[in-house]
Structure 1
Amino acid sequence: MNQSNEKILYTITDEAPRLATYSLLPIVKKFAEAADVVVDTKDISLASRIIANFPDYLTEEQRLPYDLGELGKLVHKPEANIIKLPNISASIPQIKAAVKELQEKGYNIPNFPEKPQTDEEKRIRAAFNIVKGSAANPVLRMGNADRRVPIPVKNYAKSHPHSMGEWTKESKSHVATMNSGDLLHNEIATTITDQTAGNSTIEFVDTSGKKTILKEKLALIPGEIIDASVMSKKALRAFLEEEVKDAKAKDVLFSVHLKATMMKVSDPIIFGHVVSVYFKEVFTKYAETFEQLGINSNNGLAELYTKIKELPPEKQKEITDDINTCYENNPKLAMVDSDNGITNLHVPSKVIIDASMPAAIRMGGKMWGSDGKAYDTKFVIPDSTYAGVFQTTIDYCKEHGAYNPSTMGTVQNIGLMAEKAEEYGSHDKTFEIHGEGIVRVVSETNEILLERPVEDGDFFRMCQAKDLPIQDWVKLAVTRAKATSYPTVFWLDEKRAHDAELIKKIKVYLKDYDTSGLDIKIMNLEKATQNACELIHQGKDTIAVSGNVLRDYLTDLFPILEVGTSAKMLSIVPLMQGGGLFETGAGGSAPKHVQQFIQENHLRWDSLGAFMAIPISLTHFGERMKNQKALILAETLNKAIEQYLDNNKSPSRKVKELDNRGSHFYLAMYWAQALAAQTKDAEMKERFAKLATVLAENELKITNELLAVQGHPVDLHGYYKPDDELATKAMRPSETFNNALNAL
């Protein structure tokens, strides 16, 4: 029996993964009971995080504990065992929408203050900043990432290849990126010594000598790498204006690719410049009106359309006509949703580079136009730090044609991300600068560690990567290289300041291991990409060892080409204190899935990522607690997943066909059958034989019950915070299946 309080914690998140949880979690809990494994939940959804951050505004009944904060403490303990589902990386428009929904439900949450003036407004803004962007990941990721496509998924993709668009050498699609003035070209870096460690300060000193403290008490410890850079507003806008003209001249779609959700300070600013450059005449002509209405280009075109509704109809028409003139005079915009006229510039949270670029490459370098047809595209990635990865991949596809999923190899990833490593941990050290002068990082002993000249409107960014996570990252890379014998490449460029510091450390730490017989190299990004493209084209496998942001990009790029989606990735985070965080794939398509579910009661979300995480979590628990039954659950679940894939029980995209709920039923049936067939535990064998028989005998009845509810709208009484009772009823509509589980 499990005498300790240790348990598996399953996260409640947002959108489609949240809806799927209403169906899948009861199954997992019932099976886990047989091994005396407690599966509990922690709610880290956007709505929950907002509620938890404003207790003073709510009644006692409405208040919620800050579950993310509790998990943030747990990941530093060896007993941590967390299954992390995808959650919203909240943009400001999403936060506003969530607040509006909560207010309508009776929660007295304050409005998001765009330009806080009073102390109270500043306090409110600070509370919202805690939930903005990808708030959960940096808190939970106290380990480095081991991400790969599971073998059953890879084998299924080879035998059931997904569609790939055609690439031709004549394709006009290309990446446009800055060659000066951006974060890459302005970056400087250093490694902290015993003498420079301590509480540092980031300060802005303007040309008159006036000093403004941007951040104080920034703890720096010996051995960590810090870097600083600046994005020049002047250079950025000049680049964007040139690329708008060039896209028009080349007759290709114009699209911007950023990550305004994760890079929650820097990328919304870049996005805002793209919007205000493309619609330059409109933002210039109506500058005063937009100021009065509180229109911020950083929030996209959708907010502009909403806010001008406050104006008289004739003024609205005048502005709309001028917007349409910009559309006519400028290149056509890539669309996020052609049917509903949602452009690439409507909402910053819909511009997610790690999802959008691989999808376009998979389509043969094309994106959708407003007429619903696919066209060659200019992919605008302003900062050049990682742009070369995508251009190199495009060049390879132009030369060699589209990949063949039936024969291509795989790119696994070991990613440096522990303790908020690198750019994704830079939000609290990124600042938009107002004025001209110097931003500098100053040590406790008043030594200037880093400094960058800035002009009005530039943004400054500082990043950190601590030494112990770097050591752990190198160790994980060597471990995987030994386990697989795959060529293993550190994707780092010695010409980049930050990478140069990393390379020094890697060369030292690799000496701690016996690497004889292993193929471990360091390559710059373009060479590493070319190498990976060549290997997988030949059907060979490789491991990419990368920094944090590049980890995110690569673990979408290659899986989307290999297996059609990144949602089926196996993502293991061995926490540095001995616990485990098991992530379940990407959630970029989740909003569209919810939209279809609400309209048709058909959820096409594939829970395969969660399926894959559960046996790893059970294995971790079983080994730690010496719980043989938990290990049997894990082993049999892996067999069930293989059967699930072999029998093609993944959700269909079409209504009145198998959906997410049906896929959960089949997983449960196959899992029960595998448990009934195993011979290691007689009690479990007998227990699950009964369930396996009941489910098999009632297969047709259950699937019919699951299909019968489809084709009608569903009201969940909320998008960000659905009514639990209604959602449970909607996601568990088969009484026969529910009764069989309850009998277990």
Structure 2
Amino acid sequence: MATIIYTHTDEAPLLATYSFLPVIEAYASTAGVAVETRDISLSGRIIAQFADRLPEDQRIDDALAELGALAKTPEANIIKLPNISASIPQLKAAIKELQDQGYALPDYPDSPATDEDRDVRARYDAVKGSAVNPVLREGNSDRRAPASVKNYARSHPHSMGAWSPDSKTNVATMGADDFRSNEKSVVLESDDTLTIQHVAPDGTVTVLKESVPVLAGEVVDGTVMRAAALDAFLTEQVQRAKDEGVLFSVHLKATMMKVSDPIIFGHVVKAFLPAVFDQYGDELAAAGLSPSDGLGSILTGLEKVQNGAEIKAAIEQGLSDGPALAMVDSDRGITNLHVPSDVIVDASMPAMIRTSGHMWGPDGEEADTLAVIPDSSYAGVYQAVIDDCRANGALDPTTMGSVPNVGLMAQAAEEYGSHDKTFEIGGEGVVQVVNTAGDVLVEHDVQAGDIWRACQTKDVPIRNWVELAVTRARASDTPAVFWLDPTRAHDANLIEKVKQYLPEHDTDGLQIEIMPPAEACAFSLERIRKGEDTISVTGNVLRDYNTDLFPILELGTSAKMLSIVPLINGGGLFETGAGGSAPKHVQQLVKENHLRWDSLGEFLALASSFEHLATTTGNARAQILADTLDRATGTFLEENKSPSRKAGEIDNRGSHFYLALYWAQELASQQEDADLAAAFAKVAEDLAANESAIAEELLAVQGSPADIGGYYRPDDAKASAVMRPSETFNGILATLA
């Protein structure tokens, strides 16, 4: 039997799964398609790491490792929902919840002192940050807005804030002594195993990473952000924001870049509150309170510090003395510096641009903002959009073109600032990347506190990326631009490879360009304003940034993107948009039993999954399911059955009902398979006849708190009861089983 793997992940997408998965299973069964689940949630990954320490009834298999192996096979058909890319505070919160649920898990060791501590730390480090995506992404990314979504956005435009030519909003970035400016890059001539080491001034060699296997043709980079330069830059920006009378904000990616960016975030917290850390830094450190965990963690931890009230008063004074801070939640006093994972650059910057270049201030009002993005690799992209809006006004969703993306990400390409090749340097010296022959390939002088990182990009994914770019340009008859900067070391090597591999494909009549990112962005914006589309062909980080930036401006959300990963060995990975895992949605559900998560991304991914299944297995009914689901999704959009933000109105569960109704109607009326039409005729009739009753049952539960039995690991029975409250709907679905 053909099989689709549907992933259990985290937060809002997980809760939505309790409601939508029964629909998928019922409809897929009519085509002989099995739908299986695999738990790759943060809690599931934690439990799998410690399975050897848990009793039999609590153990679960390492589903992520299983899916990683499956992704390398032609049979792979995986629907991957958004998951938590865990920061340290999130990881600790998940551990605490699991401990409270009866799992005998060790605490996360902040400062491992024993072999036992180091083992525990290594296990936890394996699940934090972007631990999932690099394992599953055995292919490059093809993300675009489907025609039905784009047409709906044009006819039902989302709100866009007006831009003033006098806007003082800008991006501040280093441009020197940062990752971009210090980058060195080499292309390996043959297979090898590299070592990353630190050499102290007295000649002492400390191995930072003992074994880095590489393949011939692989691009290997190393670079460093100098802590002293970072601190000087941040001090200047705090003063600049105050002088210009704008909000101060920092935009990092402390989830994906799980090692480097929390450290940078800590530098920002210290730069904003210099007097506090000058006077109390040692006491905070002794209490285990780190600025890298955010201001919120420090404030909470002060309750257990002897002079906590005194330090809290100093923090409040520091916040008062500095520029106004951008807020995550001004009503609750949650600032831009409270939690490193609250302000993620790829989502926060387009949201700011969409809102007139404004963020929210402590007074609850919008204001111009200085957006601090320390590393200059891609900061210019956001400045280009800001400059364009300042000169030409806000973009118009009713007329603007689109910027689909072909992203290089296969086999952990360009995984910057994360995993096991990023280090906070302990002392003065030199960091070197050395091959087995003893040759130094990359070398940087470093000081204590500098952040050094390396990354790898294999040749096979680069070849596949170039091929996918040409394929998409040909299929859509759209210009494609490689966003690569010849003055940056890594990009210069990629440009040579792109020029080498493009002639292997038929590019006659296609417009394929190579431009530095800021220039490519300006070029794409000029075309967008004419209603024209431009494919952005980017590396991994810009893939993440662009597939939030442009969809948020075009569609109002990145969750409505079609996100396909054609796996290199023939399988398919279908991601459900780029919308994150929406913790605020869970908070609303628990508070008032209303889930505003929009499952449109799941609908789009499911249709692509069925289509892939039909193509690879010859299952004609799977193709019918795909085609009818596409049409049903179009009706769903036109009938405006997306979730409302307000309790007492349609939510995620109601959306699933209407999608099921429209899909059943399409299946009942299709002409290709009479038996299938007959099987759905009664379902469509019953759903339509009971529409009012089902809608009422789904609305009746809203307005009161909901018990799901856990945030990071909900209780299955409780969560299912909350997410499937319509007995009428459930009963009709059961007739298909």
Using the size of structure 1 for normalisation, the TM-score is 0.98
User: Which residue is equivalent to 1:10?
Assistant: 6
Are 1:222 and 2:216 an aligned pair? Answer: yes
Matched letter for residue 93 of structure 2: A
User: Which residue is equivalent to 2:608?
Assistant: 616
Contact 1:200–1:217 (8 Å) recurs in 2: yes
Alpha-carbon separation, structure 2, partners of 1:646 and 1:321:
54
Could you give the per-residue CA deviations for residues 191-237 of structure 1, whole angstroms, max 9, x where no partner exists?
Answer: 1002xx31110010011110000111211111011111000000000
Are 1:95 and 2:91 an aligned pair? Answer: yes
Are 1:691 and 2:683 an aligned pair? Answer: yes
The count of corresponding residues between Structure 1 and Structure 2 is: 736
Q: 1:460 aligns with which of 447, 452, 469?
A: 452
User: Which residue is equivalent to 1:70?
Assistant: 66
Alpha-carbon separation, structure 2, partners of 1:169 and 1:215:
50
CA drift of 1:307 comes to 1.3
CA drift of 1:287 comes to 2.1
Could you give the per-residue CA deviations for residues 554-584 of structure 1, whole angstroms, max 9, x where no partner exists?
Answer: 0000000000000111000000010000000
CA drift of 1:424 comes to 4.0
Q: 1:339 aligns with which of 319, 331, 336?
A: 331
Could you give the per-residue CA deviations for residues 657-685 of structure 1, whole angstroms, max 9, x where no partner exists?
Answer: 11000000000000000000001111100
SS of equivalent to 1:346: coil
Deviating 4+ runs (over 3 angstroms): 423-426
Are 1:604 and 2:587 an aligned pair? Answer: no
Q: 2:195 aligns with which of 201, 224, 232?
A: 201
Matched letter for residue 591 of structure 2: Q
Contact 2:82–2:581 (8 Å) recurs in 1: no
CA drift of 1:587 comes to 3.5
Are 1:584 and 2:580 an aligned pair? Answer: no
Alpha-carbon separation, structure 2, partners of 1:307 and 1:162:
41
Alpha-carbon separation, structure 1, partners of 2:12 and 2:414:
29
SS of equivalent to 1:264: coil
Aligned residue runs from structure 1 range 243-282, under 5 A:
243-282=237-276
Matched letter for residue 28 of structure 1: I
CA drift of 1:426 comes to 4.9
Could you give the per-residue CA deviations for residues 118-141 of structure 1, whole angstroms, max 9, x where no partner exists?
Answer: 100000000000101011000000
User: Which residue is equivalent to 2:473?
Assistant: 481
Are 1:572 and 2:564 an aligned pair? Answer: yes
Contact 2:273–2:315 (8 Å) recurs in 1: yes
Alpha-carbon separation, structure 2, partners of 1:344 and 1:587:
20
Contact 1:17–1:587 (8 Å) recurs in 2: no
User: Which residue is equivalent to 1:174?
Assistant: 170
Using the size of structure 2 for normalisation, the TM-score is 0.99
User: Which residue is equivalent to 1:555?
Assistant: 547
Alpha-carbon separation, structure 1, partners of 2:222 and 2:515:
23
SS of equivalent to 1:422: coil
Percentage identity across aligned positions?
58
Aligned residue runs from structure 1 range 346-495, under 5 A:
346-424=338-416, 426-495=418-487
Are 1:302 and 2:296 an aligned pair? Answer: yes
User: Which residue is equivalent to 2:114?
Assistant: 118
Question: What is the aligned-residue RMSD (CA, Å)?
Answer: 0.9
CA drift of 1:588 comes to 3.2
CA drift of 1:310 comes to 0.7
Q: 1:41 aligns with which of 19, 32, 37?
A: 37
Matched letter for residue 213 of structure 1: V
Are 1:159 and 2:155 an aligned pair? Answer: yes
Matched letter for residue 285 of structure 2: E
Matched letter for residue 259 of structure 2: V
CA drift of 1:515 comes to 0.8
Alpha-carbon separation, structure 1, partners of 2:419 and 2:509:
41
User: Which residue is equivalent to 2:639?
Assistant: 647
Matched letter for residue 110 of structure 2: E
SS of equivalent to 2:179: coil
Alpha-carbon separation, structure 2, partners of 1:307 and 1:735:
46
CA drift of 1:372 comes to 1.4
Matched letter for residue 237 of structure 2: E
Distance 1:603 1:487, change over 3 A: same
Contact 2:248–2:370 (8 Å) recurs in 1: yes
Contact 2:416–2:453 (8 Å) recurs in 1: no
User: Which residue is equivalent to 1:186?
Assistant: 182
Could you give the per-residue CA deviations for residues 97-144 of structure 1, whole angstroms, max 9, x where no partner exists?
Answer: 001100111101100000100100000000000101011000000100
Alpha-carbon separation, structure 2, partners of 1:77 and 1:216:
30
Alpha-carbon separation, structure 2, partners of 1:494 and 1:402:
31
Matched letter for residue 489 of structure 1: V
Alpha-carbon separation, structure 2, partners of 1:662 and 1:426:
39
Matched letter for residue 384 of structure 1: S
Alpha-carbon separation, structure 2, partners of 1:515 and 1:740:
52
Aligned residue runs from structure 1 range 127-166, under 5 A:
127-166=123-162
CA drift of 1:150 comes to 1.1
Contact 1:198–1:220 (8 Å) recurs in 2: yes
Alpha-carbon separation, structure 2, partners of 1:172 and 1:536:
24
User: Which residue is equivalent to 2:49?
Assistant: 53
User: Which residue is equivalent to 2:281?
Assistant: 287
Alpha-carbon separation, structure 2, partners of 1:319 and 1:569:
46
CA drift of 1:284 comes to 1.5
Alpha-carbon separation, structure 2, partners of 1:452 and 1:391:
29
Aligned residue runs from structure 1 range 628-639, under 5 A:
628-639=620-631
SS of equivalent to 1:658: coil
Are 1:706 and 2:702 an aligned pair? Answer: no
Contact 2:260–2:417 (8 Å) recurs in 1: no
CA drift of 1:586 comes to 2.4
Which piece of structure 1 moves more, 49-58 or 14-23? 49-58
SS of equivalent to 1:402: coil
Alpha-carbon separation, structure 2, partners of 1:383 and 1:288:
28
CA drift of 1:288 comes to 2.5
Aligned residue runs from structure 1 range 663-682, under 5 A:
663-682=655-674
Where do 5+ consecutive residues of structure 1 fail to align?
none
Q: 2:531 aligns with which of 536, 539, 549?
A: 539
Alpha-carbon separation, structure 2, partners of 1:426 and 1:544:
24
Contact 2:473–2:479 (8 Å) recurs in 1: yes
User: Which residue is equivalent to 1:22?
Assistant: 18
Matched letter for residue 257 of structure 1: H
